Structure 1
Amino acid sequence: MDFLLSDVHDDLASTVDALLTKADIPARARAWSHGDHRPVMEVIAALADTGVNGLLIDESCGGASAGAIEMTVAMEQIGRHALPGPIVETVAVLPVLFHTAGVTGERVSALAEGALATCAIPPTAPLAPLAEASYLVRDGVLSTATAGDRVATVDPTRILAELSPGEVLADAVAVDDAVDIGTLATAAQLLGMAGAMLTLAADYAQARNQFGRSIGSFQAVKHHLADVAIAVEMARPLVYAAALGIDGLVPEGTDVRRDVAAAKVAAGDAAYLASRRALQVLGAIGYTTEHDLSLYLTKTRALLTAWGTPADLRRRILESL
């Protein structure tokens, strides 16, 4: 079996990476945290033009009819650039949730065209990031929703809200597939963020001189960064194995939900380690809001518990063994 990504996947990753690099996401993320969403929405529109927003949406609704692997490739790059907003909910969770519930038409096509939407699925995701369109699944009932009390997180670009149900769209809706794709998409984001923080720390270690040489030449710093590199490379196959499982490309009897949980745990651990080690290498400057590392530090902390807390996911793994 070939475990390498295809040229198509590499091209998708390169396209998303180039688009987000050119867009200068850190500056747009800071604008988002101050309430100016227009700069980020311009990027969302550009991603929609490339087909990223519609990867999991059927062609009949304006999507690409792609799979979890393609979504994971795109979300890793989105994480690498720390793009703010309810991206997981828009690109991953809602397309799967709508498909499961039999919702079609304008609500689905709007996602493919670049509209941002959010959702809450208690108890795994009891709160939702703010967006113009909101949806809620409670006791198997899918409905539109309105945002209530707002909850600030450590990430200034991520404001959550409690949702109240509105118009009922479907009932007896199974949510496991939507929850799993949300968990996987968040894992992919964390994987990308871990890689980005490793790069930031490595570049700084090469440029920062102390005692007449770069601090990257010191063995202690090398060990710090090597630990992160190992954690990232150990998490990546788990993330993509989970994507293969969701796409049905694994042997019969594979516990896909366990694999998804393992992917999020490993990616979260890698991102958390990367955030701590990068801050150690950069020192106090990495914690200042002026440095891009601060965007990754706060987002990592916020996403660790999104779409499945580490404790809940570890419990799922333990129960499956």
Structure 2
Amino acid sequence: MFERFRTDQDSGLFADELRLESSARETLFSLLVRVTLVLLLIFALFPFWMMLQTSLKPRSEIALAGFHPIPQAWTIEHYLQMWDVIPLVNYYFNSLLIASVTTVLSLTIAGLAAYAFSRYEFPGKSTFEVSALATQMIPGILILIPMFLLFTFLGQSGIPMKDTYWGMIFLYTTFTVPFAIWMLRGYIDTIPAALEEAARIDGCSRLEALYRIVLPLALPGFAATGMFVFLLAFNEVLFASVMAPNKVTPFAIGIYDFMEAYSTQLGPLMAASTTASLPLLIIFVAFNRQIVSGLTAGSVKQ
């Protein structure tokens, strides 16, 4: 692990010093990285564990003072009770519908726009790219009131937008399309244009080459981008609390019904949150390879 080396001195004497071999340094660095990752993983999973174990605690144990990370008794009463307290199924359906349609529309619009940015040169291209990126730098709270006034004006004009499915889908699509364009363009840039040219020589049109060549190769990028768009639309709270308070209330807002004026039903609240997290976790595990592949697909310029 250690080796001795000699250095010449002006006096003609030799001094022995110790230093770590390169393999030992790499081992210690790898160990440090792994310990750091484990600590970060524990820190990231701790809120989920607290949510899960609180949902499995009896009501009397939840009310105990102090920190109790492991339940002394286990129960599923909160998972049975949560369906009777609020219309949880309706809230969850609203979120799934809004997030799913938003994801499909965003990927369709952003995919075509990203392809155009990657393959074509046209006036105003750079300006539009910068403008699309700039929209992601504006805090959402600054857009809330203007968007509310716009929805109110459209409603008075006979186009209901507030508290409707299409209104929320339109709202989230406008927010996610610029982000999706930037992500997908990086993936499409890595696909050689020569493949499309070869397909066109074989008789494919531009759209056929896009459908048969580019889209299959860009699927990992679409999977990663779609996951981000879906999670953003599913978990959004700020605009949903103002624009969808009644008829199409999403899950992220509906679970606030567990919070009463003078108390909070922590057991059913944590049970509902855990139930909502499981499908998203299953989707991520099922498409893990595609998502990870998509996240790294645009990292290297070919």
**TM-score under structure 1 normalisation?**
0.23
Q: Which has the higher contact order (CA 8 A, sep 6+)?
A: 2
Larger Rg: 2
**TM-score under structure 2 normalisation?**
0.24
Which has a greater percent of strand? 1
